[in-house]
Amino acid sequence: MNKKFKSMKYSCIPLLTIFLAGLTACIDPIDTGSAQIEPKLVVDGLITDLPGPYTVKLGQSEPYDNASLTRAVANATVYVMDDLGNRFDFTEGTRGTYQTDSLSFQGQPGRTYTLNIRTDTGKEYQSQPQFLQASPPVDTVFSRFVEEISASGIANEYFEVYLKTQDVAGERNFYRWKWAHYESLKYCRQTYFHDEENNINYRLYSFCCEPCWKISRCNNCIDLANDQFTDGRSVERLITKIPYDSREDYFMIIEQYALSEKAYRFWNSVVSQTNNTGGIFDNPPASIPGNIVNINDEEEQVLGLFLASGATRKSVYVKRDYVVKPPPPDNSGIGVQILLSPVCEPCREGIVRTAIQPPGW
């Protein structure tokens, strides 16, 4: 039997989803009292011992009746101090997003880091000191082919992707995993149009002007575990499922983070609250305490978290060519005329696309 973490929490959660649509069906309007709710600073920051840059995002919470959840906090002074007195500054790029210089700062296991924030209104905030604990390496990554047949006879075929890692004996260890899939793009733009006169569907492809990769990542997945029942053991962990739509290797980057107990409890609380079904026996939603305070007003509530976490990264080509039967045919191009554009399209940098070659590619 496979050894797996027995004490674990896994959820794939869009953290910014707000369930307000049902309120419009009420006959009488509900007064949420949002006018009296003071906006709160929202912090999302992480440094690791992997190469930077590292990012801290600052926002401000909005009342429930506002269309957006947070608005960016710009023009702040953001820096990290370590336990040796070294200061590392963050520079604002896009509004509300602050980054380090990747060449001058890299987190080190065994060091303690404290985040400092000063807003343009003069408020000063500080995190609790965060100890950067090293993460054990990801030993191996492998896949298993799964074929499920529904009651109606429809096959669902995919691969389960697992990793193996060695837990450190004699310590309380807490983990989080993230992953991303990179796919080399030949075309950076696809345009669809229909010729009504001749009733023909066209698909116009524009080549990439430069090397470009599409990114599919598990940004909002909260995949946690602790070693309560697996201390010191070799552990096998299901990370994700990938499609069987090709026999080509599936390139992935998997990151394993060593969390502090408080960080684990924070994310575990997020999982628990967002998994509430809304029944009468569910715990009512509440603000989850973070680790950042206003140094001049400890009564002010600050949302979010700053973490220093050891991390290990594994770049792998997951094999999909060992399955005897071929993948299901791609029928998306049936009845479509293909055209190639004479003009190339640039690789526009963003969260789903990059011109930077992935590590290990």
Would you say residue 93 has pLDDT above 70?
yes
pLDDT band at 69 (very low <50, low <70, confident <90, very high): low
Quick one: average pLDDT of 103-109? Answer: 92
Count other Cβ atoms within 10 Å, centred on residue 200: 12
Residue 61 or residue 160, greater confidence: 160
- pLDDT in the model for residue 66: 45
Residue 26 or residue 170, greater confidence: 170
Would you say residue 18 has pLDDT above 50?
no
pLDDT band at 96 (very low <50, low <70, confident <90, very high): very high
| 279 within 8 A of 360, measured Cβ to Cβ | no
DSSP per residue over 266-320, as a string? HHHHHHHHHT----TTSPPP-PPP-SEEETTBTTS--EEEEEEEEEEEEEEEE--
- pLDDT in the model for residue 3: 47
- pLDDT in the model for residue 220: 67
Per-residue pLDDT tens over the stretch 281-315: 445 555 677 899 999 998 999 998 999 999 999 99
Quick one: average pLDDT of 74-102? Answer: 95
Per-residue pLDDT tens over the stretch 257-281: 999 999 999 998 888 877 765 554 4
213: its two tokens: 């990769």
**Helix (H) or strand (E) segment spanning residue 265:** helix 261-274
d(CA 235, CA 204): 48
Mean pLDDT of the chain: 85
- pLDDT in the model for residue 42: 92
Per-residue pLDDT tens over the stretch 159-208: 999 999 999 999 999 999 999 999 999 999 999 888 888 888 999 999 99
